[in-house]
Homo-oligomer: A and B are copies of this chain.
Amino acid sequence: MNTKNYYSSDFRLGIVGGGQLGKMLLQETRRLDIGTSVLDPSEVAPCRLGSNEFTVGSLTDFDTVYQFGQNCDVLTIEIENVSVEALQKLEEEGKKVFPQPHIIRLIQSKIRQKNFYKENLIPTADFISFENKAELMTAINKQQVPFPFVWKQSTGGFDGRGVAMIRKKADLETLPDVPCLAESMVPFEKELAVVVARSANGECRSFPTVEMDFHPEANLVEYVFSPGNVEEAISDKAQELARMVAEKLGIVGILAVEMFLTKDGMILINEVAPRVHNSGHLSIEGNVSSQFEQHLRAILDLPLGSTETIQPAVMVNLVGDEDYTGPVYYEGIEEIMALSGVYVHLYGKAETRPFRKMGHVTIIDPDLEAARAKARIVKEKIKVISQ
């Protein structure tokens, strides 16, 4: 088989993880009729539809992932929490695995990730790492870690979990006994993100710098604005930093780089994800190529697409209302569909739970301010509840 004959052929792209990120990736593989095989532990995962093959199985079990990968030509992930060992073995045996397993391993651990920034002189908030809670407590008692600080568990944190603001000793009580970081609290002005794609041949393209607004309580992205409302010099610096991280990592595929813009104009890397990312969803409608198409292009060694802005965009996450659990009902959805340039994406989850990511809405408008105004209406009108 000609390895570049991906289209309407026997070629199989394996996707480890079958959630919403995979689902949006499948929209692109369907458009190009690229065959896919998806692994997910849930038989009702969003990717159960639209994939050529769908396998139910654990993402963290070595044998399951290894078996799964053997029937694929190229492998990718849509979540970091996977058996890197299995991917590594597949890679050693000649499979193309992108992002490369050693990069997934590095990023899986916040301690390794922060050490990587330090070693590569990539600006990031100061930190100290601890192997367990006892080590952390000892350091605090010796006053080596001043309050306030940000506690982050090294592995397994996701969607706002595994992070805590520690202002006083009492806040430490509920923390689990796991490897962790104590990070200086950064007095930031804004949170920015840049989604970068890098191909095996070294071609590198980044999407415009976006600005993220977080829900104060759930620590989930609430709004994303593209382009971000920052000076050009700041945006350029963010772009440069993001590409630098992608290149130092040598990643193949999408890398999402989250940054803090400090009150004194510095940019610090917060964290990165070696995959398509919430901060890039608005590229589906807002940019010439979407991050999902771009990821496919990067991992399949196709020419990267243009990341140019078509229209300014705002993204609103649709998360489950905190008071409802059960079969989902999207109250007000028709009212927002009546607005021009409003695109509703539902992830295909039948059950809602407090703060569960159920979908997102992208609003495009030639005028970013008009898009922002519509986003506020969207936020106000739609409720993810259960009847």
Contacts and interface: CB of A to CB of B under 8 A. Distances in A.
A329 interface: yes
A145 B32 CA distance: 48
A11 to B, nearest CB: 12
Nearest to A304: B338
Interface in A134-187: none
A308 B341 CA distance: 9
A241 to B, nearest CB: 25
The dominant DSSP class at the A interface is loop
A370 interface: no
A192 to B, nearest CB: 25
Interface string A38-52: 000000000001111
Nearest to A328: B8
A198 B200 CA distance: 48
Interface residues of A, number: 46
A344 B303 CA distance: 13
Interface stretch (A57-65, A211-219, A264-272, A346-354): A346-354
Interface string A1-18: 010110111000000000
Counting from the closest, the 5 A-B pairs by CB-CB distance are A303-B338, A306-B340, A33-B346, A33-B348, A50-B50
28 contacts: A2-B329, A2-B387, A4-B334, A5-B329, A5-B387, A7-B333, A8-B346, A8-B348, A9-B350, A26-B30, A27-B27, A27-B31, A30-B49, A30-B50, A31-B343, A32-B344, A33-B346, A49-B50, A49-B51, A49-B52, A288-B364, A302-B334, A303-B337, A303-B338, A305-B340, A310-B310, A310-B311, A310-B364
